[in-house]
Amino acid sequence: MKKMNVGLIGAGFMGKAHCVAMSNMPKLFPDAPYLPVFKTVCDIVPEIAEDFADRFDFQNWCTDWREIINDPEIDIVCVCTPNCDHAEPSIAALNAGKHVICEKPMSATEEQAEAMAAAAAEAAKKGVYSMCGYQYRRVPAIDEAKKIIESGAIGELTNVRAQYLQSWSADPRSPLSWRFVKETAGAGTLGDIFTHALDIAQYLAGNVTDIVSIVKTYIKERPVQEGGVDLLGTVKLGDDAKKQAVDVDDEVSVLCKYESGAVGSIEATRMAWGRNNYITIEVHGTKGSITWNYERLNELEVCYGMDDEDGARGFKKIYTGPANPHGDVTWNIPGMNIGYGELKAIEAYEFAKAITEGYEPSTCFEVGYQLDRVCSAILKSNDENAWVEVK
Ligand SMILES: NC(=O)c1ccc[n+]([C@@H]2O[C@H](COP(=O)([O-])OP(=O)(O)OC[C@H]3O[C@@H](n4cnc5c(N)ncnc54)[C@H](O)[C@@H]3O)[C@@H](O)[C@H]2O)c1
C-alpha cells in the first residue's frame, strides 16, 4: 500500500484526534488511498512532544514546526495549534508543496485566513490541497439530511435553526487558557464552536448573506492556566490563582438570511449548564422537516409532513448505518453507532481521497475563509447594533 509521511504540529486534544483518525482510516475504509506514516511531531512543550512521539510511534519529535516544513520527506502537515498559530505553518507547508489539514477556525484574524486561502488556491494549481477541520458536516446523518434536502422531499427550505451549546466554561473557576485570549484565539465561542453550527447550516442550506447578532461576555476575568494543553474546564483554579481579563465572547446569538431566501437563527455558548456537546440543527421546508442532535449522533429525524395523514403526522427516526453516506466507516448494523473518533476518520479519508485523486475537499481553505468572513460580520453587527451583509 502507498505510504504518505505525516508531520503533526500541536500535540494536544486535536493532535490526538487526528492521529487516532489517520491510524484508523486505512483500517475502516477498504479503499483507503494510503497508509499514513507518523514521521515528526512538533509541540512547543518538549515533554508533550516527546510523550506524544512515544505513544503514537512518531519517528522524531521537535519543538520548532519549521523542522517539519524543511523535511522533504514529509508529504502531509496537520496543524493542530491554537488559532493564532494556524496561518504561518499552513502557508509555509503549502508553499513547500505539502498537503495541509488545519484545524478550525481557519485563523485568529480574517486577514490571516485570507492569506491562507490565497496560498491554498496557488498550491491547488500545482496539485497540493488543503482542508479545514469542520468534521461535523461529515456525520452520516448530516450527509443523509443533505441527500433528502437535495431530493426535494422536504420542499423549499424556509427556516434553519442551529445551535452549539456546551457548559465547560460556565464555572468562573474554569481556567483562562489560550481559548479566552483574543491574541491567541481571535474570538471566543464564536470561532471555537459557533463556526461548527454555522458550517453545518451552510452545508445544508447554502451560504448566509446577511446577519444581525448579539455577542456577550459574562465572565469578565478568570484564573490563569499557564501554557500547555487547554484543560477545557476539567480543572478548577482557586481564589489564590492569578487572574486575567477575558477579552473574547462567551455567547453568540444570530439571526440570518440565506442566499436561497430561507431565514434562520444560530446560537452558541460554552455556558449552558446541562449541555455538553449539544449541536442541533432543525431545517424546515415547505413539505417537511429534518432535525438532528450531535448527542444522538447516529439518529436523523425526518417529518414528511405533506405525505402523512392528519392525525398520523410526526418525525420518523432513521438510525444511520451501512446504507447511509460514509457507510464504510459504520459498523455492520444500524444502531451499533459511531462516535467522534470515526467521524474524524471520515474526515481523514475525505482528505486522503482529495489529495490522491486531485481535487479540493469540500472543507478546503476557501470554505474556512468564508466562515471566518461570516464571523467578522457577526462581530461588526454586534458593534454597530445593525444588520450586516457578509463580504
Ligand atoms: N474540529 C474540532 O472538533 C475541534 C475541537 C477542538 C479544538 N479544535 C481546534 O484545534 C486547534 C487546537 O485545539 P486543541 O483543543 O487541540 O488545543 P490544546 O490546547 O489541547 O493543544 C494545543 C497544543 O499546541 C501546542 N502549541 C501551541 N503553540 C504551538 C506552536 N507554535 N507550535 C507547536 N505547538 C504549539 C500546545 O503546547 C498544545 O500542546 C484549535 O484551533 C481549536 O480551535 C477543533
Whether 103 is in the pocket of ligand 1, judged by its Cβ within 6 Å, is yes
At 237 the pLDDT is: 82
Q: Would you say 359 and 320 are in contact if contact means Cβ atoms under 8 Å apart? A: no
Using left for φ > 0, alpha for ψ between -120 and 50, and beta otherwise, residue 332 falls in alpha
Three-class SS of 161-213: EEEEECCCCCCCCCCECHHHCHHHHCCCHHHHHHHHHHHHHHHHHCCEEEEEE
For the cut 90, the answer to whether the pLDDT of residue 385 exceeds it is: yes
Whether 9 is in the pocket of ligand 1, judged by its Cβ within 6 Å, is yes
Instruction: Name beta bridge partners: 224.
Output: 176
Gap between the Cα atoms of 55 and 75, Å rounded: 21
At 260 the pLDDT is: 96
Whether 231 is in the pocket of ligand 1, judged by its Cβ within 6 Å, is no
Query: Cis before residue 89, ω within 30 degrees of 0?
Result: no
CA 230 to ligand 1: nearest atom:
19
At 307 the pLDDT is: 86
- The residue to mutate among 50, 67, 80, 344, having the most atoms of ligand 1 within 8 angstroms of its beta carbon, is 80
Q: Which residue has the least CA distance to atom 21 on ligand 1?
A: 12
Gap between the Cα atoms of 253 and 256, Å rounded: 10
At 110 the pLDDT is: 95
At 229 the pLDDT is: 84
Q: Decide yes or no: CATH 3.30.360.10 for domain 140-296+298-338.
A: yes
At 66 the pLDDT is: 98
The DSSP call for residue 325 is: T
For the cut 90, the answer to whether the pLDDT of residue 241 exceeds it is: no
Looking at every residue in the chain, the average pLDDT score rounds to 96
The Å distance, Cα 119 to ligand 1 centre, comes to 22
Buried b (16+ CB within 10 A) or exposed e, 28-56: bbeebbbebbbbbbbbbeeebbbebbeeb
The Å distance, Cα 142 to ligand 1 centre, comes to 26
Average pLDDT of the segment spanning 151-161: 98
Reduced to 3 DSSP states, what percent helix, strand and coil does the chain have, rounded to the nearest 5? 35, 25, 40
Buried b (16+ CB within 10 A) or exposed e, 316-328: eebbbbeebbbee
| 323-338 confidence digits (pLDDT tens) | 999 998 989 999 999 9
**pLDDT tier for residue 39 given thresholds of 50, 70 and 90:** very high
| 166-215 confidence digits (pLDDT tens) | 999 999 999 999 999 999 999 999 999 999 999 999 999 999 999 999 99
At 290 the pLDDT is: 98
Whether 10 is in the pocket of ligand 1, judged by its Cβ within 6 Å, is yes
Of the candidates 24, 21, 19, 20, the residue with the CA atom closest to the CA atom of residue 39: 19
CA 16 to ligand 1: nearest atom:
16
- Count of positions (residues) in the chain: 391
The Å distance, Cα 10 to ligand 1 centre, comes to 6
The Å distance, Cα 201 to ligand 1 centre, comes to 25
Whether 343 is in the pocket of ligand 1, judged by its Cβ within 6 Å, is no
CATH code, 3-135: 3.40.50.720
Whether 8 is in the pocket of ligand 1, judged by its Cβ within 6 Å, is no
Classify 237 as helix, strand or coil. Answer: coil
At 248 the pLDDT is: 97
At 226 the pLDDT is: 77
Q: Do domains 3-135 and 140-296+298-338 have the same CATH topology?
A: no
Cell numbers placing 111 = 486577514
Instruction: Name beta bridge partners: 85.
Output: none
The Å distance, Cα 80 to ligand 1 centre, comes to 5
Whether 192 is in the pocket of ligand 1, judged by its Cβ within 6 Å, is yes
Average pLDDT of the segment spanning 119-144: 98
Task: Report the predicted TM-score, pTM, of the whole model to 2 decimal places.
Answer: 0.97
For the cut 90, the answer to whether the pLDDT of residue 228 exceeds it is: no
**pLDDT tier for residue 233 given thresholds of 50, 70 and 90:** confident
Considering only residues 239 and 261, tell me which one the structure prediction assigns the higher pLDDT.
261
Order across the sheet with 35-42: list the strands.
60-62, 35-42, 3-9, 76-79, 99-102, 130-132
Angle at which helix 140-151 crosses helix 195-205, to 10 degrees, equals 30
At 339 the pLDDT is: 97
**pLDDT tier for residue 232 given thresholds of 50, 70 and 90:** confident
**pLDDT tier for residue 20 given thresholds of 50, 70 and 90:** very high
Domain boundaries, the chain: 3-135, 140-296+298-338
For the cut 90, the answer to whether the pLDDT of residue 225 exceeds it is: no
Amino acid at 338: I
The Å distance, Cα 14 to ligand 1 centre, comes to 6
Whether 224 is in the pocket of ligand 1, judged by its Cβ within 6 Å, is no
The DSSP call for residue 131 is: E
Whether 80 is in the pocket of ligand 1, judged by its Cβ within 6 Å, is yes
| 277-335 confidence digits (pLDDT tens) | 999 999 999 999 999 999 999 999 999 998 888 998 999 999 999 999 999 898 999 99
